[in-house]
Structure 1
Amino acid sequence: MIIHQQENECIWYDPTLVVGEPRQYFDIHFWHQQAAVTGSAKGRGITFFVRGPKMEMALRHYYRGGLFGKLVKDQYWFTGWEETRSGAELRLLAYLREKKLPVPRPVAARAVKTGRTYRADILVEKVPGARDLVAILSENSLLAHDYHAIGRLVRRLHDASVCHSDLNIHNILRDRKGKLWLIDFDKCQQREGEQWKEDNLARLHRSFKKEKEKRQIRWQPEDWAAVLKGYNHIRK
C-alpha cells in the first residue's frame, strides 16, 4: 500500500489497482461521469458498486449508527491517521488476505480531517456473483456440508485472532462457485483470549434465529449443530 498524507487528508491505496489520481476514486460523481456505477446497496448508508479499470468495487462512506448517529451522522473523533476507521479496516483486510482468508481485496481508503474530527471512506473489491446467506436462504435450504463450511470459515477467522464485531448472515457471502466470503470489517480487530470467540459464535447464531423470525428463511434450529461441527472440525 502507498500512503499519501497531507495535513488534513490521508489516502492509502494499492498502486496496482488504482490508476490515476487516487482522490477521485472516492468521488461518486467521478464514477457517474465514467458511466461506471453498476449498482448500490442500502444499509446504514449507501454502498455504491463501481466498475474500475481492474475490477468491480464497492465504495462505502462511514456512517454512525444508533441514537448518537442521528445527532452526528458521519464524524469521528480524530486520534491519529492509523486509528481512523478506514485505515484500520484496510489494514485488517490486508492482514486477513495474507492469512489466506476469503475477504474482499482492499483497494483504497481515505480519511479527511476537519478540526478534531474526521470523515472516512473505503473502497474494496466487490466479490463477483456473490449473494449473502439471507438472500440464499430466502430461496433455498442449505445442506449439512454447507453449514460445516460456514463453521470452518468462522474457525479460520478466529484462529487468525480476529473478532468480527458484526458477524451475521448478511456479512457471509457465497459466490457462483460455492465459495464463502466474509465482508464488512468495520470496527473489527485482533484479540487475545478465548471468551470472545464463544460470544462471536453466539452472535452468528442469533442472526440465523432473527432472520428466521423476520423473513422466514429456510433455516432450522437443528442446522446450528452442523455449523458447530464445522467449527470444531468434527467430520461425522
Structure 2
Amino acid sequence: MKTFKKGKLRVWYDEALLSVPPEQCFDVGFWQQQERIVGQASGRGTTWFIQLDNVQGALRHYRRGGLFGKLVRDHYLFCQWDKTRSYQEFQILNHLRNAGVNVPRPIAARAVKKNVCYQADLITEKIPNARDLVTILQENALRDEIYVKIGQEIRKMHDAQVNHTDLNIHNILIDEQEQVWIIDFDKCMIQSDGDWKENNILRLKRSFLKEQLKQSICWNLSSFDCLYRTYSE
C-alpha cells in the first residue's frame, strides 16, 4: 500500500492497480474526460464503474443512511487518519484477501479532512460477471452446492475474525464460475471471538426471510440449513 499526502488529503492505494495520479482518481469528471466510465449503479448514492488498465473499478462515495443521513449526508467526525471509514475498509479487504476470502481487491481509498469532519471515498475491484443473491433468486432457486460454498466463505471470513455488521443477501455475489464473493465492509471490524459471529448468521437468515416476503425469491429454510451446516463444520 502506498500513501499520498497533500494538506488535508490522504489517499491510500495499490500502485499495481492504479496508474493514474492518486489525487485525481476519485474525480468522476476525470474519468468521464478519459472516457473510462463503463456503467453505474444507484443505491444510497451512485457507484461509478470505471475502466482501469487491467481491471474495472467500483468508485463509491461514503454516505450516511437513516434519519441522521438526511441531515448530515456524507460528513463524519474526524479522529485520526487510520480511523477513517475508507482507510479501515481498505485494510479489512487486504486482511481478508490475505486470509484467502473472496472479497474485491481494494484499489484506492481517500479521506479529505474538513474542519472537525471528513469525507471519504473508496475504489474496489468490480467482480466480473457477478450478481447478488437477490437478483439470482428472483429468477431461479440455487442448488445446495452453492449454499455449501456460501457457508464455507462466511466461515473463512469469521476464521479471519472479521465481523461483517451488515451481512445480507445483497452483499453476497455469485459469478459465472459459481464462485461466492462477499462485499461491502463499511463499518466492519476485526474482533476476537464472541456472539457477533452468530449474530452475523442470524442477520443473514433474516435477510433471506425479508426478501422472500418482499421479492418472492426462490428460497426455503432447508437451503439455509444446508448453508448453516457447512458453516458449522
TM-score interval (norm. to shorter): over 0.9
Corresponding residue for residue 103 of structure 2: 103
Corresponding residue for residue 192 of structure 1: 192
Corresponding residue for residue 113 of structure 1: 113
Tell me how far apart the structure 2 counterparts of residues 166 and 13 of structure 1 sit (CA, whole Å): 25
Corresponding residue for residue 165 of structure 1: 165
Write out per-residue CA displacement over residues 76-125 of structure 1, whole angstroms, 9 at most, x where no aligned residue: 00000000000000011111111111000110000001100000000010
Corresponding residue for residue 51 of structure 2: 51
SS in 1 for 2:93: helix
Moved segments of 4+, more than 2 Å = none
Q: Which moved more, 1:148-157 or 1:102-111?
A: 148-157
Tell me how far apart the structure 2 counterparts of residues 194 and 21 of structure 1 sit (CA, whole Å): 42
Write out per-residue CA displacement over residues 34-53 of structure 1, whole angstroms, 9 at most, x where no aligned residue: 11111111111111111111
Corresponding residue for residue 86 of structure 1: 86
1:4 and 2:24 aligned: no
CA RMSD of aligned residues (A): 0.9
Stretches of structure 1 lacking an aligned partner (at least 5 in a row): none
Corresponding residue for residue 145 of structure 2: 145
Give 1:33 deviation, angstroms: 1.1
Q: Which moved more, 1:1-10 or 1:177-186?
A: 1-10
Tell me how far apart the structure 2 counterparts of residues 203 and 51 of structure 1 sit (CA, whole Å): 34
Tell me how far apart the structure 2 counterparts of residues 177 and 223 of structure 1 sit (CA, whole Å): 20
Give 1:147 deviation, angstroms: 1.0
Give 1:232 deviation, angstroms: 1.5
Task: In structure 2, give the amino acid aligned to 1:60.
Answer: R
Give 1:194 deviation, angstroms: 2.6
TM-score (norm 1): 0.97
The equivalences for 1:7-86 within 5 A come to 7-86=7-86
Tell me how far apart the structure 2 counterparts of residues 96 and 33 of structure 1 sit (CA, whole Å): 34
Write out per-residue CA displacement over residues 142-163 of structure 1, whole angstroms, 9 at most, x where no aligned residue: 1112111111111111111001
Tell me how far apart the structure 2 counterparts of residues 18 and 222 of structure 1 sit (CA, whole Å): 44
Identical positions, percent: 48
Corresponding residue for residue 225 of structure 1: 225
Write out per-residue CA displacement over residues 163-213 of structure 1, whole angstroms, 9 at most, x where no aligned residue: 111100110001110100011110000111231111110000000001000
Tell me how far apart the structure 1 counterparts of residues 187 and 16 of structure 2 sit (CA, whole Å): 26
Q: Which moved more, 1:127-136 or 1:4-13?
A: 4-13
Give 1:25 deviation, angstroms: 0.9
Give 1:6 deviation, angstroms: 2.6
SS in 1 for 2:41: strand
Report how many aligned residue pairs link the two structures.
Answer: 233
1:183 and 2:171 aligned: no
